[in-house]
């Protein structure tokens, strides 16, 4: 049976609640223990979730090492190396879904940070119709280093040209910064980028 049509405001409110729920889920995935799929990144832990048109979770992933890679090597966390070793959450969630043979047609993606140029290309190629990002994550853009800004700017163009809608979601509260991961243990001064507290 077809559900009764929502009024415009009701539909908007319900959709916002839905968006917020999935962004919270994406943040939760990023902050899981590393052994359970949480992000091992020492400073930027990102979560992404794919949700099907019926509102069911297809896959969820963090920015992490590909399965099988040795994440205990401290040199892989060094500045300049991290981005070579750790894949973006958006890539991981797409691959996880495809590896499991899930249908991703019409799926919406939720991610806690705005996608980089590489991810934006993949999202466009796979014809993901919409990607939702917290407003705060988009505001963060102005504080980024030039090379990251360039990547995000290119990503925005790629999303636009491939017809992916980029939606910023206002959250009732800022998503909490996930705690720093515990493993691998790193020695002081090894340049792993752990923030001083
Ligand atoms: Zn990316």
pLDDT in tens, 75-103: 999 998 999 999 999 999 999 999 999 99
Å from CA of 13 to ligand 1 middle: 30
Write 174-179 long-range contacts (CB < 8 A, 24+).
174/136, 175/23, 175/24, 175/27, 175/112, 175/134, 175/136, 176/27, 176/31, 178/27, 178/30, 178/31, 178/38, 178/39, 178/45, 179/31
Please calculate the CA angle 82-122-30 and round it to the nearest 5 degrees. 45
What count of other Cβ atoms lies within 10 Å of the Cβ of residue 95? 16
Q: Give the integer Cα–Cα distance in Å for 5 and 2.
A: 9
The string of pLDDT tens digits covering residues 18-63 is 999 999 999 999 999 999 999 999 999 999 999 999 999 999 999 9
Separation of CA 88 and ligand 1 centre (Å): 4
Centre of ligand 1 from the C-alpha of residue 113, in Å: 9
Which of helix, strand or coil describes residue 134? strand
CA of 146 to the centre of ligand 1 (A): 16
- 104 CA distance to ligand 1 middle (Å): 18
Residue 159 φ/ψ, nearest 5 degrees: -60, -45
Expressed in angstroms and rounded, the spacing between residue 116 Cα and the centre of ligand 1 is 4
**184 CA → ligand 1 middle, Å:** 23
3-state class of 109 per DSSP? strand
Distance (Å) from CA 87 to ligand 1 centroid: 7
CA of 89 to the centre of ligand 1 (A): 7
Q: How far apart are CA 85 and CA 108, in angstroms?
A: 26
Beta strands (DSSP E) in 36-188 are 47-51, 57-62, 64-65, 86-87, 108-111, 130-134, 165-169
pLDDT confidence band for 175 (50 / 70 / 90)? low
């Amino acid at each position: 049976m077809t559900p009764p049509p929502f009024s415009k405001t009701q539909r908007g409110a319900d959709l916002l609640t839905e968006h917020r729920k999935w962004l919270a889920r994406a943040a939760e995935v990023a902050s899981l223990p590393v052994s359970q799929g949480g992000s091992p990144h020492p400073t930027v832990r990102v979560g992404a979730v794919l949700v099907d048109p019926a509102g069911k979770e297809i896959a969820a992933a963090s920015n992490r090492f590909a399965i099988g890679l040795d994440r205990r090597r401290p040199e892989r966390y060094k500045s300049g190396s991290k981005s070579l070793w750790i894949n973006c959450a958006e890539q991981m969630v797409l691959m996880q879904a495809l590896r499991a043979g899930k249908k991703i047609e019409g799926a919406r993606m939720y991610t806690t940070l705005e996608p980089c140029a590489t991810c934006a290309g993949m999202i466009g190629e796979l014809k993901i119709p919409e990607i939702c990002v917290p407003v705060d994550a988009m505001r963060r853009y102005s504080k980024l280093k030039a090379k990251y800004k360039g990547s995000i700017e290119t990503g925005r163009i790629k999303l636009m040209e491939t017809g992916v809608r980029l939606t910023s979601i206002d959250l009732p509260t800022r998503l909490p910064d996930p705690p720093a991961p515990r493993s691998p243990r790193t020695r002081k001064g090894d340049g792993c980028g752990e923030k001083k507290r």
